[in-house]
Amino acid sequence: MLCTRIRTALSARLDGEELPPGLTARRLDEHLADCRDCRRWEERSRALATGLRRAAERAEDDDPAAADALLARLRPGSVRPGPVPPGSADSGGKRAG
Ligand SMILES: [Zn+2]
């Protein structure tokens, strides 16, 4: 079994994608048990994936507005609150009685 094929499958598994045909999770684990190179490779890939996710989460924590802006940019036809046409809204603030 070629290490490159194993790593392709490992990468898919880390991404939550389906494994390439002919490869099973068990096969991967067996190879990892034997191949230290691939084990290291997976560790690094996992660390990278985790790091990216953490960075994204932290960015949201630090600045929610930035995350919103990013989402807005990803959606070109985003809805924005326009001015309310007169007559359709209640006169807010006033209370009867
Ligand atoms: Zn290997």
Please name the residues in contact with 48: beta carbons below 8 A apart, sequence gap of 6 or more: none
d(CA 58, CA 38): 30
Measured in angstroms, how far is the CA atom of residue 3 from the centroid of ligand 1? 4
Measured in angstroms, how far is the CA atom of residue 42 from the centroid of ligand 1? 10
| Total residues found in the chain within this entry | 97
**Residue 27 CB burial class (10 angstroms; 0-12, 13-18, ≥19):** middle
Give the model confidence (pLDDT) of 49-81 as tens digits. 888 888 888 776 777 777 777 778 777 665 566
Give the model confidence (pLDDT) of 2-55 as tens digits. 999 999 999 999 889 999 999 999 999 999 999 999 999 999 999 988 888 888
Q: For residue 97, what are its two tokens? A: 């009685």
